[in-house]
Every structure is written in structure tokens, then in C-alpha cells.
Structure 1
Amino acid sequence: MKRLAILPLLLISTFFLPVEGAVADTNVARSATPSASYTSPWESVAAINDGIDPPRSNDTVNRRWGTWPNTGTQWAELTWPSAQTIRSADVYFFDDDGGVRVPASWKLQRWTGSAYADIPGTYPVAVNAYNTVTFAQVSTTRLRVVLQSGQASVGLLEVRAWAADSGGSTGWNPPSHLVTPLNEVWQHQESTYPNLYGFRNYGWDQIMANGGSINYCVRWDTSATVTAAQRDQIHATLARQFKKWMDVMVGHNAWPYGNVPVKVVGWAVRNRSQLQWSDNSVDIYVNDIRENAPQCAEACGRFFNQNGNYPNCPGGASHHYDMSLWLTAGFGGGAGGDWGQRLGSEYYMNNLNTDNMTILLHEIGHSFGLDDFYDWTPTGQCCFLMKAGSASSITEFDAWMFRDWWRHLKSRYGL
């Protein structure tokens, strides 16, 4: 997977400090393994802890866990390799106003080591919102959501399990076995990239300039057509993969955001007829060609306007884009940098529902400064995402390399 070089820039970005406070609790559901009593063949139990906040109970874009046609008592469960101390949980119900509806009642159970025990609490049942239950903290390796069906089958879109932040992850505290390789990586980057500290358009800079969000343009570099449903799936997949990197930072070392929303603000195509929708949910740019590929307007792109001002962007600064998702027909591998990520359009469309889109995850890592490891391997490490071809998902070592970048850059934001 080729990484495009990050070029030194002379412009200094204007940054806006976030007003959001540090995260008090940590959603430990993301690190659990999900399972269920039953899952409809076309649904996925992995949906319950994929970190995607549903837009509504009848979510037709993201993955869902449902039990149709089964009724009665159904359950979905989160299992951790070690005990977690949990004091509240949020549950978002799947309800398609048809064969899957909110439950008649539900409850949480914890595994005691020999049996499941009910967790006392008040259990609301609402659509289009998280249903929150707070309770005296419990320590368990399994948390089960038990649902009693009413007029139809039942399902869930997301479960969040909240553990109090003990403070152990608030600073720079990598595991001892990673200290040496992490130091090797950082020293290698400092010696290889002389403008490492002077560069001002890493993914970190973009998020902080926006106050905790990121905007994308989709460069549709193919002759294929796109339906509105596919458009929304492309967005949802990008948001899900981007969130995997952001989850690495939650509660860590003064990182100020619990969630970093990803918004697709524009689509660029050669011909308007390729886009088979008529709504105005995104800006559309037609036949604006750069690098022999369609692009969204340069006046709206942060890559071209790194002072953070977009005076000539149609619609103003709210329509600006920080990165591009460049999907090219017949493109092999991937490329990534401060400008965004480039992948094969066929690869992307064939992996819309894949849990880990490996090439995209790898290229997003480059957008935040992570390096390639073609010709060397840090001490004690063999297999990790940024060493292309050796891992399919973000590993512990990738996560700590990512955090190391924040450690060295956070002072530029006054944190």
C-alpha cells in the first residue's frame, strides 16, 4: 500500500480549541466480543458494539442485529477477556415498524462466574433514542441484554457499557514491552521527516480546527453509477472505519472528544447522471478534473486552504472538506496522506459491510502521520496494521503508535 509523501507547507493553520470536556467514562463495549441467542441470516450481531450511533431505530444503512422470525425471550451478550467494572449502559433498539419491534420488556444480566444474575434498575423502552440504565457498579466478564418480545421479533442497533475512567489511561503509559519499539519508531520518524513538527495538516490538525469533527469529499473516479442507498452505505462504511482509530483515543492523555463525527459534504463526478439521486444532502461537483480525476472544488478543500478560511467556497466554510475519499476503478492497493485516502472503487464497494476494511484503515493511519514499515521492523514486533500485509485490523502496537503522535502534537492545541 503506497503512501503519498506529505509535503512541507508554509501556511499556518488557524485552530479553534474544543469546548468539550474530557470524557469521564469509557465505553468498554467496543472491546468486547458479541454473541446472541439467534441472529437472522441477513443481520449481524457485530452491529451491537461497532460504535456507530444509529440515526433512528429503523436504520436502513448500518448493520443491525435482529431475531426475525424468532420471538419470546432473546438475548445479545458482550464478553470480555477480563472483568470490567460497569456502572451504566445504553441500549438502542431496532424497530422497523414491521417484523421487528421494540421489546415488551428488557433487562441486563451479569455473569457471576457460575450463573447470570439480574441487574436491578429502571428499564425504559423508547424508539429513536438510547435507553439508559444506571446501577450500582458491577464487575463482570459478560453483560447480557435480555429482551422479551411483544408483538413481533426484537433487535438491537447498539449497546454501550460505561466503566468509570480509573485514570490509568489518562497519560502516556504504554505497556512496558512496547516502550522500546515505540521509541524506535518515533526516532526513525524524526530522522526521516525533517519537517515532522512543522507540518500543520495532519488528521489531528483537521479535527482540532473543526472542533471535533471531520468533513469528506468523495471523488468518484469511475464510470459506475451510484444510488442514494449506495451513497449512504459508502458514508456509513467510512464513518465506521474512521471511528476505529478515534476509539483508540477516547479517555487517553487529554484527548478531548468522545466521538468524532464524519460527514460527507460533497461528491465529485465526471457526469451528473452517474449519481442516481435528486436530493440536496451533499454538494455535487461535475467535471472539475485534477490528477485526471474528478474533485470537489479547490476553494472548499483544506488541502488548498490550510489557513482554515474558505472565502470562495460555495455555501461557505460549513461546506468545506478536510479530506477526500478517492475511489478509483481498477486501482490496486491504496494511498494515503493529509489529503485523504485512495482505494480501488471495486474493493471499497465489495467490502461495505466488512468489519475491518484493512486498506482503508491503513491509509487513514497515514493521514494522521503513521509511517510505513517496508524495510524495517521495530524490536519485538512482527504483525501490525501499518506493516502492510501483516495484520488486518488495528493492533495494540498500532494504537500506541497513534497515541504517540498525539503525545507529541497535543501541545500545539494548548492541551
Structure 2
Amino acid sequence: MRRLFAVVALLAGFLLVPTRSDAAVVNVAPWATATASYTSPWENVAAINDGVDPSRSNDLRNRRWGTWPQAGEQWALLTWPSAQTISSTQVYFFDDGGGVREPVSWRLQSWDGAAYADIPAAYPVTVDGYVTASFPAVTTTRLRIVLESGKAAVGLLEVKAFADTAAAAQSGWNPPAALVTPLDEVWRHTETGDRDPYGFRNFGWDQIMANGGSINYCVRWDSPAPVSAELRDRIHAALGRSFGKWMNVMAGHDGWPYAEVPVKVVGWAVRDRATLQWDDDSVDVYVGDMRENAPQCAEPCGRFFNQSGAYPDCPGGPSHHYDMSLWLTAGMDGGAGGDWGQRVGSEYLVDNLGSDDIHILLHEIGHGFGLDDFYDWTPTGQCCFLMKAGSATSITEFDAWMLRDLWRHLKSRYGY
């Protein structure tokens, strides 16, 4: 087994991302960076475009954006790296019945390069459901949602911005001029590495393409700590957010065919069934199957062990297969990653489930797509980026362009 691992210093069955749309429009909000006029310290503005549909306006289980105690005019802003042509939005207001209530009114503004301009439209207000605003298409890199509060503060649970798929898709290879040289250096280093990027066929790219635009995981719980159904769901959600961050930088870029890549956790592997404190059948459970002295999900269901993509001996059939493992090990510092999946400390992950950027997990997911480590060299002009372990804690512009460059060189084998 060729080792594509990273060991880094420790620095400090659910749909987790929106499904791919085959309609004429696509929600481009997940591709944007969210900021706000003000965010309560316990809230997170990144919630507004994380792809999680709320159950109600007083949804306290998932992340949300709120401005308590700030009232008056407040705004949330979506910023894209390139212009998007948007013709409608849906917003879901946060209303906890107390300090945060639905706005008295709201409106959208687009950035024209010099200032924000109001977008004429009808702007209804309601709770416990999305409200839609439609308008003649505007092309912009920034969309601002402006909320006028009453006596309470305001907030949002989710925002969707819909663009025509043809207009949303970028084409060609257009990195910033300052990144052309370092990207070329990275690719030449990849070509001469110990894994032939052209011949190897189990990158994350291969797995997503084989599934038609999705990916399956199995969790290896290498810890005696009990796992409640709530903790299970939070682990699934954190994994989906982290994987989705890499997919968001690909959406609409250079022929990449998927607006979103759904992540589904199909199984858990444990030493003792009693560790898992749920009785539902939402995921397969594997007990006592050991590999590398750790619980192992059934090998007949794993793509790493069946790279032909056939799973004739997988219990439940091919739909129960897993492409990668999330291996959570008690007491582990740092992490490891490759085409087989990611390994991080179980305590580290659990302690960071509410974090927007679980940086060690993000780093290891990058290895699954073929991104390298930079232990002994640094590309020209670059200093700090996620794949250079210890120098950044989130996906940077350079990380994003390295991922896109891998796609540029490998996409022909998938017919793109």
C-alpha cells in the first residue's frame, strides 16, 4: 500500500451537504464566504450558507447567525471569488421567540464595483419556512441581505442564491498571476513524486466520479468512549462540512460537473456494540472486525480493498459500500490521510465539532485528492497555507488553486 500520509503537529447515513441540482438553476450560496455587520459571540455567520435546511425558525440544534443584543439595521454578506448571475434567493429567518425575532422588513443589495445598490423585488416576511425573492438577473460578486429589526435582534438560519448553471459555470484555467509559478512548481513536484498521478485510480476524484457525484464514509471508532445518537449525528455533520469546504472551491470551476457533493456515512466499526448508544438502523454497524489493531468496517464493502468498484460480497450490496474511512483514535495527536480516508484523534474531533474549520481533518481530506505535504520545501512566494502543516488553519486561496490544478490535469480521464 503506497503511503500518502501526513502526520502533523496538533495545533491547539446523513445528507450533510446540499444535493447536486440537475435543474436549470443552482444554489451558489455555498460557494461564497459569509460575513456580517455583527455576530453574537456564540453564533456563527458561516451557518447561513452551510447547506443545512432548518426544521423551524427556532432551530437551536444547528448553527445559526444572530445579532443579539444588536438591533436596528443589520446585514449578512455573501462574497464570491468571481461574479455570479443571480435571479432569486430564499432566506430562512431565525426567531427564538425572545431576543431574536423575524425582521420588520428586509431587502437585497448587489455590489456594482463601487457601492451597494438595492435590488427591486417583493420581500415577504414569515417564519418556519423559506421566503423567496425573485428579480431580474443581477451579476455581482457580493450579495448583501439587509434586515431591519423591530424591538429585538435579528438573524438568519440559511440563505440560498440561485444562478443559471450556464452563467454560474466558470471555464478555462485562470489562476491569479502571482500563483502561476508556484502552482507549476507544485504540479511538477507531484509528477515526479512516488505516486504517478496519471496512473493511480483511487483519488477522491475517482471515488466521486464512480458514484455519480457523491461519496460514502464509514467511521472507525477506536475509543472506549460511548457514542450517543446525538454525538453520532454531530460527527456526521462535521465530516460533511469539512468535505464540503473542499468541494465548494471546485463548484462551477473549469468543467467540474457537480454543484455539491453529498456525503453519506453508511457505517460504524467498533470493538463493542454497547459503545454505540442507539438502536436505529440508519447505519451499518461492524463489531469485532479488526485491522491495524483497530475496528475495521467490512473490507468487502470498502473501495480501498475493491478498487474495481464492484462489491459482490458486501452485506447489503453496493449501496452499502464506503469509499473512505474516518478513523477516530483515542489519544492520538496530529493526523494521517490518503485515498483510504482520514485518521485524527477522537478527542480532538469531538472537542472541535462546533468549529467552522477542523483544520487537521481538512488537511487530511486534502491528501485524499492527491494534495501533497510541504515538509521540506515551499513554493515560490507562498508562506502559509493549509497543506503546509502548521502554517494555516483553513483552506486558503493557494490551497484552492492547488486542488483545481489537480482537476485540470486529471479531468480528461473522466471525459471532461
Which of the five TM-score ranges fits, normalised by the shorter chain? 0.7 to 0.9
Distance 1:183 1:112 in 2: 34
1:119–1:135 contact (8 Å) kept in structure 2: yes
Asked whether the equivalents of residues 169 and 254 of structure 2 are also in contact (C-alpha less than 8 Å), the reply is no
Spell out the pairing of 1:209-358 with structure 2 (5 A cutoff).
209-358=210-359
- The offset of 1:283, in angstroms, is 1.2
* Offset, 1:123: 3.2
Structure-1 separation of matches of 2:34 and 2:55: 24
How far residue 86 of structure 1 moved from its aligned partner, in angstroms, is 5.3
CA–CA separation in structure 2 for the residues paired with 1:64 and 1:245: 21
What letter is aligned with 2:254?
N
Query: Which amino acid is 2:156 matched to?
Result: L
Q: Tell me which residue corresponds to 2:368.
A: 367
Q: Which amino acid aligns with 2:178?
A: H
Paired with 1:409 and 1:115, the residues of 2 have a C-alpha distance of 40
CA contact (8 A) 1:20 1:256 kept: no
| 1:192 match: secondary structure | coil
In structure 2, the partner of 1:119 is 119
TM-score normalised by length of structure 1: 0.84
Asked if structure 1 preserves the Cα contact closer than 8 Å seen for 2:80 and 2:141, the reply is: no
Change (3 A) 1:29 1:249: closer
> Contact 2:269–2:296 at 8 Å: present in 1 too?
yes
Counterparts in 2 of 1:107 and 1:315: CA distance versus 1, 3 Å: same
CA distance in 2 between partners of 1:112 and 1:212 (Å) = 34
SS at match of 2:36: strand
How many residue pairs were aligned? 397
Distance 1:246 1:79, change over 3 A: closer
1:13-412 equivalences under 5 Å are 27=28, 30-36=31-37, 39=40, 41-49=41-49, 51-54=50-53, 56-57=55-56, 59-66=59-66, 75-78=74-77, 80=79, 87=86, 88-94=88-94, 106-110=106-110, 118-124=118-124, 130-136=130-136, 137=138, 139=140, 141=142, 143-146=144-147, 155-162=155-162, 169-412=170-413
> 2:17 is matched with which residue?
none
- Given the two structures, how large is their TM-score scaled by the length of structure 2? 0.84
**1:276, distance to aligned residue in structure 2 (A):** 1.3
After superposing the two structures, state which structure 1 stretch, 52-61 or 362-371, moved more.
Answer: 52-61
2:173 and 2:25 mapped to 1: Cα distance? 17
Q: Equivalent residue for 1:13?
A: none
The residue type paired with residue 204 of structure 1 is: W
**Is contact 2:25–2:162 with CA below 8 Å preserved after alignment?**
no
Deviation at 1:112, TM superposition (A): 7.9
Aligned residue identity for 2:232: R
Q: 1:262-292, CA deviations, whole angstroms, 9 ceiling, x for partnerless residues? A: 1111111111111111222111111111111
Counterpart-to-counterpart distance in 2, 1:273 and 1:179: 53
Does the 8 Å CA contact 1:86/1:161 hold for their aligned counterparts? no
CA distance in 2, matches of 1:306, 1:372: 24
Q: How many Å apart are 1:89 and its aligned residue?
A: 2.3
Task: Provide closer, same or farther for how the CA distance between residues 264 and 147 of structure 1 changes in structure 2, counting only shifts above 3 A.
Answer: farther
Residue type matched to 1:236 in 2? Answer: A
Indicate how the Cα distance of structure 1 residues 412 and 55 shifts in structure 2: closer, same or farther if over 3 A, else same.
farther
Deviation string 1:382-404 (CA, Å, 9 cap, x unpaired) is 21111111111111111111011
The one-letter code of the counterpart of 1:358 is: H
Cα distance in 2 for partners of 1:409, 1:61 equals 40
Provide the C-alpha distance between the structure 2 equivalents of 1:140 and 1:197, rounded to a whole number of angstroms.
35
Report the alpha carbon displacement of residue 306 of structure 1 after superposing the two structures with TM.
Answer: 1.4
| Change over 3 Å in CA distance of 1:27–1:381 after alignment to 2 | same
Displacement after TM superposition at 1:222 (Å):
0.6
**Seq. identity, %:** 63
Q: Distance in 1 between matches of 2:199 and 2:231?
A: 39
Mapped to 2, the partners of 1:234 and 1:147 lie a distance apart of 36
CA distance in 1, matches of 2:344, 2:158: 29
- 1:162-201 Cα offsets, whole Å, 9 max, x none, are 5667678312222222122111111111111353211111
The one-letter code of the counterpart of 2:197 is L
**Contact 1:385/1:393 (<8 A) preserved:** yes
Amino acid at match of 1:348: L
* Contact 1:372–1:388 (Cα < 8 Å) also in 2: yes
1:67/1:28 CA distance change after superposition, 3 Å: closer
TM-superposed CA distance for 1:132, in Å, is: 3.1
Report the 3-state secondary structure (helix = DSSP H, G, I; strand = E; otherwise coil) of the residue aligned with 1:266.
strand
Note the C-alpha offset of 1:65: 2.0
Unaligned runs of 5+ in 1: 7-18
Amino acid at match of 1:122: A
1:221-249: CA deviation from partner (whole Å, max 9, x where unpaired): 11111111111111111111111100111
Q: Tell me how far apart the structure 2 counterparts of residues 241 and 158 of structure 1 sit (CA, whole Å).
A: 18
Q: Which runs of 5+ in 2 are unaligned?
A: 6-19
Q: What is the alpha-carbon root mean square deviation over aligned residues?
A: 3.3
Cα 1:108/1:352, change in 2 over 3 Å: same
